[in-house]
Amino acid sequence: MAASDLETELRRRAETTAASILSAARAEAARLASEADLRIAERRRKVLEDKEDEYSSEARMAIASERHAAMGAVLLARTRVVDRVLERVRDLLPEAAARRSYRSGLSAELTRALQFVDRDGAVVRCSIDLAPALRESLRAQPMVKVEPAADFGTGFVVVGRGGSVVVDALLDTRVDSLASTLAIEIHAFLGET
């Protein structure tokens, strides 16, 4: 083989080897670039998931906080309504005590209250306006005294001899004892509207 043929053959083999090496290097570079793209995409996805979880958690906490504040505001508003209703009821008690419907049931109510005390020496305390109706109800029981007072509330109080037993039949006391029940009913009504 001549030197020129040998040189040509060596050159051809070198070019083939170089092309093969270049092709392998390009394939390896493409593989590395593809793996890098996958790793970058996976890291990006993980960072986005973490941020989304963080933001989602913050959003849930913010929503819960706002709901709590809103529920507190609603409850406060409802409580104010209940307070205003009860205040209005108390304002109407003197008018209610003057009505015929209240006065017509007064005798039965007085009889129920007197069941708890010894009638001998019992005293019924009431307002000046209510005293005539109570005296009329007690006409058959002269041992029970009626003591009216100018600053007495609505309704009456029965006091046993020596203050042993006190039966409070004041309308204010009834409203106070019913206040929690009324509040629940008012809250339920407001919740339905």
CA-CA distance, 192 to 79, in Å (whole number)? Answer: 15
Q: Is the pLDDT of residue 158 over 90?
A: yes
User: Tens of pLDDT along 72-102?
Assistant: 888 888 888 888 888 898 898 888 888 888 8
CA-CA distance, 86 to 17, in Å (whole number)? Answer: 101
pLDDT bucket at 148, cuts 50 / 70 / 90: very high
Q: Which amino acid is at 179?
A: A
The per-residue pLDDT of the chain, averaged, comes to 85
Structure tokens at 2: 């001549």
Would you say 133 and 99 are in contact if contact means Cβ atoms under 8 Å apart? no
52 in a domain, yes or no? no
CATH code for the domain of 164: 3.30.2320.30
16 in a domain, yes or no? no
23 in a domain, yes or no? no
Strands 145-149 and 155-159: unpaired
- pTM beyond 0.85: the answer is no
70 in a domain, yes or no? no
Q: Which positions ≥6 away from 71 have C-beta within 8 Å?
A: none
pLDDT of 89 reads 87
Would you say 155 and 174 are in contact if contact means Cβ atoms under 8 Å apart? yes
158 in a domain, yes or no? yes
109 in a domain, yes or no? yes
pLDDT bucket at 147, cuts 50 / 70 / 90: very high
Q: Is the pLDDT of residue 184 over 90?
A: no
Can you tell me the mean pLDDT for 57-65? 86
Is residue 170 classed as helix, strand or coil in its secondary structure?
Answer: strand
Can you tell me the mean pLDDT for 124-133? 91
Q: What's the domain range around 152?
A: 103-192
71 in a domain, yes or no? no
pLDDT of 193 reads 59
